[in-house]
Amino acid sequence: MTRLTTLALAALTAVAFSICTAVPAAADTTHIVRPGETLYRISVQYGTSVGALVQANGLTSAERIFAGQRLVVPSGSSGRPLVPGTAGRHTVQPGETLYRIAARYGTNVSSLVRANGLASADRIYVGQSLVIPSGGSAPGDTAPGSAVPAGGSSGRRVVVDLSEQRLTAYQNGVAVRSFVVSTGKASTPTPVGTFAIYARYGAQTMVGPGYYLPGVPYVQYFVGGYAIHGTYWHTSFGVPVSHGCVNLTAADAGWLFQWTAMGTPVVVQY
């Protein structure tokens, strides 16, 4: 065998070895769209963006998705889908405790411990991603003298009555203002439970199956992708017609936005 042939074989061997041992690119995740889901809610679930989902799936617009559709979730996302029976994920912030996180999402400490396989209630750390189980609080998980995380100490709370289609703002048990609202229709109901406002935006673009709504005013998220917000695209207040959010007129939502704060409790009931 000539020296040239030997070198050529060595080069080919090196190439083959490098191909076989190369680290594969991060695999994309596949998500099957469930009834009532929107691209926005899916993007929140996987820690990505609506634009990234549109691009990864070659969609012509953000609202062109349907139940049963398979969506590619880009590998740059967290890639961690929710498991059945969960409502979302939460990243632990400095100073947070499991109790405050439980109160914020309308669940309880025991459920958080079980859902995340924690050794004890105090074994959490800043930056940790926690699964938020669905369901309300269980007896015995509420700290004495406190029912909501920081932000509710002013005595203010918001109560949404689904049967009356009415939102009432209370301070120290006294009704301050009351508004007619539009909550989720039967196919996309508003979740029932005790929650707390965890994110606020003066305006936001919302997208989903059959709709694209830029500049939605006075948006306040209280659990998962569900929010209280102003509405300019319909006037059917008093009738459940939303995709699960609590719709108010822009003027009413503006008043409420000024009156509430991060952590203000939101009670949704029949």
Choice among 37-51, 56-70, 146-160, 190-204 with the minimum mean pLDDT? 146-160
The pLDDT of residue 141: 31
The domain that contains 39 carries what CATH number?
3.10.350.10
Contact 151, 263 (CB under 8 A): yes
Residue 140, domain member (yes or no): no
pLDDT of residue 159: 96
Residues 172 and 256 in one domain: yes
Whole-number Å distance between alpha carbons of 185 and 214? 22
pLDDT value of position 269: 93
Range of the domain at 189: 156-269
- Report how far residue 247's alpha carbon sits from residue 239's, in angstroms, rounded to the nearest whole number: 10
Mean pLDDT of 59-71: 75
Place of tokens 């509430």: 260
Looking up tokens 């936005």 gives: 257
Query: Which pLDDT tens digit goes with each residue over 22-55?
Result: 333 334 577 888 776 777 677 766 766 677 777 7
- Looking at the fold, whether 252 and 171 belong to one and the same domain comes out as yes
Instruction: Specify if 104 maps to a domain.
Output: yes
Cα–Cα distances in Å, from 266 out to 46, 101, 104? 25, 14, 9
- Asked if residue 30 is part of any domain, the answer here is yes
**Model-level pTM greater than 0.75?**
no
